[in-house]
Each structure stands twice: as structure tokens, then as C-alpha cells.
Amino acid sequence: MTQETVFSQIIKGEIPCDEVYSDEQCLAFRDIQPQAPVHILIIPRKPLKSIKDAEVEDKEMLGHLLLVSAQIAQQEGLKDWRTIINTGSEAGQTVFHLHIHVIGGRKLTWPPG
């Protein structure tokens, strides 16, 4: 990824966030425009535009992101939640740095949008 994003600026500490989890592979923080009582974003520290840009060597990191999403949901007291990865602008991706949404704390309907 060559283009700077708001998420890469958050990773570098140039923009503050309401951090809920951090390790050597990822950072998680509360969404500034939450769509539910709990809305957390999990971003890899590796600059990856979207899931469609992932390579075989990213499989451990991708698995780690999903495990962290479940850990965070439970840490937030969620019994049920939605885990979302938007891929591409027509799917709702607005920041082109791979990220996972963990959304819960209210009844979620289907289809989502």
C-alpha cells in the first residue's frame, strides 16, 4: 500500500484513537461513527488495502485478526455480534486499509444494507 490512510496514521500515532487492544500484528479501537452500542475496528499493522490483496503469507495474520475479533467481542460483554469485512467501495469500504468491524450490543437485522 503506497497511499497514506487514516488507519496508517492511527497506527503511527499521528491520529489518536480509543484503543481497546493492541499487539505486534494489529490494533483495535472504537469506531468514531458507531452503528451499534459496540462498534470496534481491528486493523492489521501490515499495510494491506483489502482482503482481495491478501497473499498466502498473510494467512496467519488474517487468522489472528479473526481470533482477536472474537476475544474483543467477549471482552466487551457481547453474547452475539457481527464480524464484517467490507471489500471495495461498492461493498461499503471507505478506508482502503483492511479492517474488521465487530458490531453488537443490539439486535442486528438481515440483510444489513
In a domain, 38, yes or no: yes
DSSP-derived pairing of the beta strands 81-84 and 100-104: antiparallel
CATH number of the domain at 96, please: 3.30.428.10
> Could you list the active site residues?
99
Q: Is there a domain that residue 77 lies in?
A: yes
Residue 66 structural domain = 6-104
Is the pTM here over 0.85, yes or no? Answer: yes
Q: Which three cell numbers stand for residue 108?
A: 442486528
Domain count, the chain: 1
Q: How far apart are CA 68 and CA 21, in angstroms?
A: 9
41-60 pLDDT per residue, tens: 999 999 999 999 999 999 99
For residue 112, being part of any structural domain is answered with no
pLDDT at 29: 98
Q: Is residue 111 part of a domain?
A: no
pLDDT above 80: residue 39 = yes
- The tens digit of pLDDT for each residue in 88-99 reads 999 999 999 999
Is the backbone peptide bond immediately before 111 cis, with ω within 30 degrees of 0? Answer: yes
Residue 100 inside a domain? The answer is yes
Output DSSP code: residue 24. S
Structural domain includes residue 1: no
pLDDT at 26 over 70: yes
Is 88 inside a domain boundary? Answer: yes
Domain assignment of residue 92, yes or no: yes
Say what the pLDDT of residue 113 is. 63
76-90: buried (b, 16+ CB within 10 Å) or exposed (e) per residue? Answer: bebeebbeebbeeee
SS3 15: coil
Between CA 44 and CA 24 the distance in angstroms is: 9
pLDDT at 2 over 50: yes
Can you tell me the distance from the alpha carbon of 79 to that of 76, in angstroms, rounded to the nearest whole number? 9
